Amino acid sequence: MKGYVFHAPGQSTWQELPDPAIEDPTDVIVRVDAVTICGTDLHILKGDVPEVRPGTVLGHEAVGEIVETGTDVRTVRPGDRVLVSCISACGRCGYCREGMYGQCRGGGGWILGHLIDGTQAEYVRVPHADLSVHPLPGTVANEDAVLLADIFPTAYEVGVLNGRVRPGDTVVVVGAGPVGLAAIATARLFGPERVVAVDRAASRLQAAKEFGAEAVADAGEDPEQLIADLTGGLGADVVIEAVGLPETFELCTRVVRPGGHLANVGVHGASATLHLEDLWIRNVTITTGLVDTHSTPTLLRMAAAGRLPTRQFVTHTFPLDHMQEAYDVFGNAAETGALKVVLGVPQHEVVPVHPTV
Ligand SMILES: [Zn+2]
Ligand SMILES: [Zn+2]
């Protein structure tokens, strides 16, 4: 088979590889039909994630068909169409028992395209398959389903649920990249008074409006003043950080109201200053997190019912073997306007949500 292999920072290739094989009885082998590229993959290529060993196939999001199962796999069988989640789960450790699969101590967590070979390939071995792949309803197309492998559960769990968005809230989302946009879309499920998006790029602020933000602020112009004006000087009930830079995190701590929630989603590579001299008296809750994907079954039902704007994210599609071209387009999003690029995406018979009679 072929796969996209990380060799060293700045060096990666789509190349011939041995086919993956069942190693443990709880493994499955999935033929990859649709796969996408994550901002985290770009971090790996830059050398920001040193645990990724040279020779690892990248990718942690895919849709495909089960072609082989280990002898202990109970919930799926060959021929099943499945979503491969970015998080694997042993199902037995203390964290898995609490649904905190991202922190799995039994060989799961974020392993695909990180600690073991990932999904940017023609075939992928998925360990702990019973809790790590999700059978797909026929009503969800590949290019919609693949967005539920990572960005939707990440934005929803680590942003919206951790931030405790409630009806009537003012929600500020700092960073209108794919995860920020998914946070805007899923925050709206709770009936906030308004969602405000903050970003530097005019194209992303335009996208934020299309995904349901009522107000947008250019990060370079005074977003603090706009948020103060909208909230009677108080600040936002919930602020979601979806960038991962010290200055954006610190901005979030300045625009959250006393008693409000700041949910960090961004992947940080440098330390930010926590201004406890301002925060200690303001009853602010700050949360961090890696996605657990406990919400994936819920999100799948919503996608099947047409309640999530998944397709709006897919700006570019490529054949699977155009991986390098897809990386170039995704890595140059400011010029290409890419939100999510999806590779593969073979046609399949999509059953309409409301069949005509
Ligand atoms: Zn990811
Ligand atoms: Zn576990």
* pLDDT tens profile 156-170: 999 999 999 999 999
Taking the C-alpha atoms of residue 80 and residue 108, their distance in angstroms, rounded to an integer, is 22
What is the reported pLDDT for 356? 43
What is the reported pLDDT for 346? 72
Query: Which ligand lies nearest the alpha carbon of 92?
Result: 2
Distance (Å) from CA 7 to ligand 2 centroid:
29
Would you say how long the chain is, in residues?
Answer: 357
Distance (Å) from CA 229 to ligand 1 centroid:
35
What is the reported pLDDT for 334? 86
Distance (Å) from CA 41 to ligand 1 centroid:
7
Distance (Å) from CA 40 to ligand 1 centroid:
5
What confidence tens digit (pLDDT) does each residue in 280-331 have?
999 999 999 999 999 999 999 999 999 999 999 999 999 999 999 999 999 9
Query: Whose CA is closest to 132, among 101, 95, 154?
Result: 101
Residue 31 has pLDDT above 70, yes or no: yes
80: left (phi over 0), alpha (psi -120 to 50) or beta: beta
Taking the C-alpha atoms of residue 253 and residue 307, their distance in angstroms, rounded to an integer, is 32
The token pair that represents 13 in the structure block: 């290739």
Distance (Å) from CA 26 to ligand 2 centroid:
13
Query: Which ligand lies nearest the alpha carbon of 100?
Result: 2
Query: Three-state SS string across 188-227, please?
Result: HHHCCCEEEEEECCHHHHHHHHHCCCCEEEECCCCHHHHH
What confidence tens digit (pLDDT) does each residue in 262-277 have?
999 999 888 999 999 9
Distance (Å) from CA 156 to ligand 2 centroid:
21
Assign 357 to helix, strand or coil.
coil
Distance (Å) from CA 86 to ligand 1 centroid:
7
Query: Whose CA is closest to 27, among 72, 61, 63?
Result: 72
DSSP-assigned letter for residue 121:
B
CB 263 within 8 A of CB 241: yes
| Single pTM value for the model | 0.94
